Amino acid sequence: MFKISLSQRSAPILLAIVFLLVLPLVVRQEYWIYVMTVGFYYAILASTWNVMAGFLGRVSFAHAAFAAIGAYASALSVLHLGIPPVVGMFIGMAAGAVFSLFIGYLSLRLRGVYFTLSTLAFAEIFRIVVTVEYEYTRGSLGLETPGLIGGTLTYVPYYYIALAILLGTIFSIYVILNSAFGLKIKAVGNSEEAAEALGINTAKVKVIMFMFTSAITSFAGAFYGHLVGLVSPEIGAFDQLALVIAMTVVGGLGTLPGPVIGALLLEVVSEYLREFGIFRLLIFAGLIIVTLRFFRRGIYGTLKQVIFGG
């Protein structure tokens, strides 16, 4: 067990965790429990995207595509192999790791924007393949997939599973960032030239982190598929990617709590914006631009600066 001291630093985090743990007991509306569960899903995606973009300075446009890869791999293996969805989620995770190793190996050895271009092209190809290979994927209609837990009528179990995955994700990111390997990550993020000069294999650091974040994303995507019961190309759509980017940027790029704050906030806000329909993404796009242009540290970073200074 970890010795937790109630220092200034960990108190707010513990409070937040306790708050999220008791929330379903207080808020008994299924609708809001579902919204929060989806919010956790986005928080996982935003946190992992932020590792590449915020800490390593590498922007992936295939993040939603990796969620979809996990969802499809899990749904297809559950459908054809008859395995339980829980095992399917791990197959989804493995699929994400394999594809990310391939893209990462191709494009992360190179400096500059090649990685981003490759992920963009890959995401688009993935969408085309899913739509064209109708026989296996049922195209844009989507695959129906069983729920994670049979016979449950409430979203409360899903809520806690999603929360557990989210906490596990953030905890492992925290551990990695504060390890010796985390120092390498920070070095690469600050200056690749300098890191290389220190003898760090920067390509290896980037590929490992890309695999790690993509595998978690695929795992979360598989979970999401079993949550909504339908796996369609929508999961990997650019709109979803846009949402994840908006959440991360608004919450605070390159900070650990930022993406979680951004994801939960924007998910709840977007429920209220539902009636505005088409203006929702327009507003989020505006938020990305304004935040990045004028409040580069996002909500978390800006608040921290205002409260603690510096």
Partner 1 sequence: MVVAGQPIIENLIAGLLMGSFYALMAVGLTLIFGVMRIVNFAHGELYMLGGYLLYYLTTLFGLNNYVALPIVIGVMFVIGVAIERALLRPLIVEKLGDEYSIIITFGLSLFLVNFAIAFFGPEYKTPPPYVQVYRVQLGTISISGDRLLVASIAVIILLFAYLIISKTRIGLAIRAAAQNKEGAMLCGIDIYKVNTFTMGLASALAGAAGALLSTILLLYPQAGLIPAIKSYVIIALGGMGSLIGAVVGSVILGIVESLGTALLSAAYRDAYSFLVLILVLLLRPQGLFGARIREV
Amino acid at 260: V
Residue choice 209, 249, 261, 266 for contact with partner 1 (CB under 8 A): 249
The answer to the question of residue 132 lying near partner 1 (CB under 8 A) is yes
Residue of 81, 157, 233, 97 whose CA lies nearest to 225: 233
Q: Which stretch binds partner 1 (CB under 8 A): 3-11, 58-66, 176-184, 264-272?
A: 58-66
The Cα–Cα gap between 241 and 277 comes to: 17
Choose which of 41, 43, 46, 58 interacts with partner 1 (CB under 8 A).
58
Rounded to 5°, angle at Cα 218 from 126 and 287: 80
Q: How far apart are CA 198 and CA 187, in angstroms?
A: 9
- For 184, the enclosing helix (H) or strand (E) is helix 180-190
Closest CB to partner 1 among residues 54, 225: 54
By rule CB under 8 A, what count of residues binds partner 1?
A: 47
What x/- string results for residues 188 through 227 when contact with partner 1 is judged by CB under 8 A?
----x---x-----xx------------------------
CB of 116 to partner 1, least distance (A): 6
Alpha-carbon gap, residue 27 to 199, rounded angstroms: 53
- What's the N-to-C CA distance of the chain in angstroms? 34
Q: Which of residues 18-47 bind partner 1 (CB under 8 A)?
A: none
310 makes contact with partner 1 (CB under 8 A):
no
Looking at this protein, which amino acid is placed at residue 141?
L
**CB-CB neighbours of 135 under 10 Å:** 7
Contact pick of 110, 149, 164, 198 for partner 1 (by CB under 8 A): 110
Least distance to partner 1, CB of residue 150, Å: 37
Identify whether the C-beta of residue 250 lies closer than 8 Å to the C-beta of residue 298.
Answer: yes
> How is 152-175 classified by DSSP, letter by letter?
---SHHHHHHHHHHHHHHHHHHHH
* Binding residue for partner 1, selected from 4, 11, 17, 111, defined by CB under 8 A: 111
The residues binding partner 1 (CB under 8 A) are 53-54, 57-59, 61, 106-107, 109-114, 116-118, 120-122, 124-125, 128-129, 132, 192, 196, 202-203, 238, 242, 245-246, 249, 253, 278-279, 281-282, 284-286, 288-289, 292-293, 296
